[in-house]
Every structure is written in structure tokens, then in C-alpha cells.
């Protein structure tokens, strides 16, 4: 291996499997006689200079550990860094040169940036401005362009599915409509996969705007057949036809200021008023991000980490490791920064779900 000193950071929301990537990168580098520098709290640490050398003991026993031993931030962005001024007023400054200077002080040969579309978009800009970067895709939302799958997604789907499974018993016992709201931002991958796996009667995703009248009709049809309960799985970014998303809060200092959430409660109130059936909403929320990664995510994260090191050794900077057709490929970071990977309306899983009677609220 030509590269002797590697820096690594984890940015964006926490995600099961992050530690598995850190472990793979560090162990592969150390095994070749290299050094690894961990940057703390994502780009926050790169701007402020919070970094530490990782030893073998730091990365041993972390394969099954959720979260990230380096810490993370879904706010810090070197190009739009939030600074608190007088009267607690937030202003934004461009500190990317400070981040580059701190990286140069490390005398590192490369930076491994592990994160979602926001982290990788910033990685693209930093690479363009002089830092040799290789990206590793991470998000429970599975919405990164250039890869068929991201680590963290399988774990999130497993947790959401378990939640749906548990909801079934109380729904049946009380003859209720139960709504399970899951994460995903503007992509419906988690809702689609967990909804199908959990036997959701109605699945609502952002890519297919719904009509509440169609949803109510499905519920009434089920009741007419003697099925006195219904399970609805809704992605947080879902919206009615001609309507808009439900915003939980706005975090001005964040690169992605709008935080979605609450669609389940809005929908639940509508359904209860229109059907007179008791309706309850459960928000899975950050439960989907926590805990130990599934075996699939541990394996995928390990392979992504070692493949990222191979790209570094080849000097393939400005790229992300992606998975396409079950093969690991290099994807230009510019491509990743250009958009989101959403669920096609004719996706095979959507077609299969419709075939077994699942309603998507559109017809």
C-alpha cells in the first residue's frame, strides 16, 4: 500500500454500521503499517481541529457496536459553518480553508468521508478544493445516487418491521387502525420494504402522493370483509395529492434545515373523523438508527471500508464506493452530489405489493 497515513470521519446522522467501516479502514491500514487519524464529530472536527490517532485497541470489538466511536454532526458544513453571534443570532461563514489547513497539518495522504448525500456533497467540494477524498455511502434512507444499497438500511428496515409486527396484535385486539410512521426523508425505501415485510395493508411513500379518500375506502372495504383492523405504514415525507409535507421543526443552522415528521398524526385524525374507527399513530423515529447493525450491514460496511482503501491505494480520489448489480464500483462524487435516489413508481416491489392487495393511496 502506497498510502501511509489515513484520516477518517463520520458525518450526518448516526447509523448502524459506521463503526464497522471505521474498523475495516483502520485494520486494513494498520495491517499494512499505516497510521489512522480519527476526526471527531464529522466536519466539525475538521474545522476545529479535533482529531486523534486511532490505535488497534480503539477499533477492536466495535464491529457490533451501533453509532460511531468518532462522533458525528448533521449540522457542521465547512462551506456554511454556523456561528453564534450577539443575541444568540446564528450567522454562516465559509471555513473550508480552515478545514483544508487542518487536514494539511495532519500530513495525511487521504480522507475517508463516511456519510450520506450531505456529507458526500461536501466531500466532493473538498476534493475539488484540494483534499484527496474517497467517500463511503451511509444512510438508513437508502437514497444515495450511485449505489443500489447503503449500510444502515437493512438494520432500519428490520427494526421498523419488528415494530409493525408488534403493532398487529394491539390493532387486532382493539379493532383499531394503527399507523406506523417511519423515517426516510423524501424517499420511501424504508416504508416500502418494512411495509411489505410487515404485511402493511396501506403503504404511503413520498413518491406516490395519496388521496385520503382512497385510504379510507380501503379501510372500509376491509371492515366490510370482517377485517376489523388495518395497518398503515407511512413514510415521514409522504404527502397528499396537491398537498405538502408535514414539517416537525426547522433547524436553521443545519444544511438540511427542514425536519419532517408528524404525518402519521395528521393522517390519523383525518381517518378517525371520516370512519369513526379508533386510530392510533406510532412514530418509530430514532429507534431505527440505534442498536447493533444486522449481519448484512456488518458485512456490507466491512466490504465498503476495505474497497474504499483499495480506491485510495489506486489514487481514485473524488469517488465514492458504490454497489451496483451486486458488484462494488467507484462512483464520481459529483454524481452523488447531484440528487437523491427515489423509489420508482414502477419498482418491482411496488408492483408485487399491489399484486397482493396493498394500497398505496393513489387508486
> Which active-site residues does the annotation give?
141
> Is 264:281 a contact under the CB 8 Å cutoff?
yes
Q: Which residues contact 98 (CB under 8 A, 6 or more apart)?
A: 47, 78
In whole angstroms, what is the distance from residue 90 CA to residue 77 CA?
14
According to DSSP, residue 321 is labeled E
In whole angstroms, what is the distance from residue 39 CA to residue 320 CA?
19
> Is 136:320 a contact under the CB 8 Å cutoff?
yes
Q: Which residues contact 53 (CB under 8 A, 6 or more apart)?
A: 35, 36, 37, 38
Convert 97-135 into a string of H (helix), E (strand) and C (coil).
Answer: HHHHHHHHHHCCCEEEEEECHHHHHHHHHHHHCCCCEEE
List the one residue out of 130, 105, 99, 142 whose CA is nearest residue 9. 99
H-helix or E-strand spanning residue 328? strand 327-332
List the one residue out of 181, 192, 191, 210 whose CA is nearest residue 361. 210
In whole angstroms, what is the distance from residue 176 CA to residue 279 CA?
6
- Give 226-278 as a DSSP string: T---EEEEEETT--BTT--PPEEEE-TTSSS-EEE--HHHHHHHHHHHHH---
> Is 264:212 a contact under the CB 8 Å cutoff?
no
Pairing of strands 133-137, 110-115: parallel
> Is 63:19 a contact under the CB 8 Å cutoff?
yes
> Is 230:218 a contact under the CB 8 Å cutoff?
yes
Amino acid at each position: 500500500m502506497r498510502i501511509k497515513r489515513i484520516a477518517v470521519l463520520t458525518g450526518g446522522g448516526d447509523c448502524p454500521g459506521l463503526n464497522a467501516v471505521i474498523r475495516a479502514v483502520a485494520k486494513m491500514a494498520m495491517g499494512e503499517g499505516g497510521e489512522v487519524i480519527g476526526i471527531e464529530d464529522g466536519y466539525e472536527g475538521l474545522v476545529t481541529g479535533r482529531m486523534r490517532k486511532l490505535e488497534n485497541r480503539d477499533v477492536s470489538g466495535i464491529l457490533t457496536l451501533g453509532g460511531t466511536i468518532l462522533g458525528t454532526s448533521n449540522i457542521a458544513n465547512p462551506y456554511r459553518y454556523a456561528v453564534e453571534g450577539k443575541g444568540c443570532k446564528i450567522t454562516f461563514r465559509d471555513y473550508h480553508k480552515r478545514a483544508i489547513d487542518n487536514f494539511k497539518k495532519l500530513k495525511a495522504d487521504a480522507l475517508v468521508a463516511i456519510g450520506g448525500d450531505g456529507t458526500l456533497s461536501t466531500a466532493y467540494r473538498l476534493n475539488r478544493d484540494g483534499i484527496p477524498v474517497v467517500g463511503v455511502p451511509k444512510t438508513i434512507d437508502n437514497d444515495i445516487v450511485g449505489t443500489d444499497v447503503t449500510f444502515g438500511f437493512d438494520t432500519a428496515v428490520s427494526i421498523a418491521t419488528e415494530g409493525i409486527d408488534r403493532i398487529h396484535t394491539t390493532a387486532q385486539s382493539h379493532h383499531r387502525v394503527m399507523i406506523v410512521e417511519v423515517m426516510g426523508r423524501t424517499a420511501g425505501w424504508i416504508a416500502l420494504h418494512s411495509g411489505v415485510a410487515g404485511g402493511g395493508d396501506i403503504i404511503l411513500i413520498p413518491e406516490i402522493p395519496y388521496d385520503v379518500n382512497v385510504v379510507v375506502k380501503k379501510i372500509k372495504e376491509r371492515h366490510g370483509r370482517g377485517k376489523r383492523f388495518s395497518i398503515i405504514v407511512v413514510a415521514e415525507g409522504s404527502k397528499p395529492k396537491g398537498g405538502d409535507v408535514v414539517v416537525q421543526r426547522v433547524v436553521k443552522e443545519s444544511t438540511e434545515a427542514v425536519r419532517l415528521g408528524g404525518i402519521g398524526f395528521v393522517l390519523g385524525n383525518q381517518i378517525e373523523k371520516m370512519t369513526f374507527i379508533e386510530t392510533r399513530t406510532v412514530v418509530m423515529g430514532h429507534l431505527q438508527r440505534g442498536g447493533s447493525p444486522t449481519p448484512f450491514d456488518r458485512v456490507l460496511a466491512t466490504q465498503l471500508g476495505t474497497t474504499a482503501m483499495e480506491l485510495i491505494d489506486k489514487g481514485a480520489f473524488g469517488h465514492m464506493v458504490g454497489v451496483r448489480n451486486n458488484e462494488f464500483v467507484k462512483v464520481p462524487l459529483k454524481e452523488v452530489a447531484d440528487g437523491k435516489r427515489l423509489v420508482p413508481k414502477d419498482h418491482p416491489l411496488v408492483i408485487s405489493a399491489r399484486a397482493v392487495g396493498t394500497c398505496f393511496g393513489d387508486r
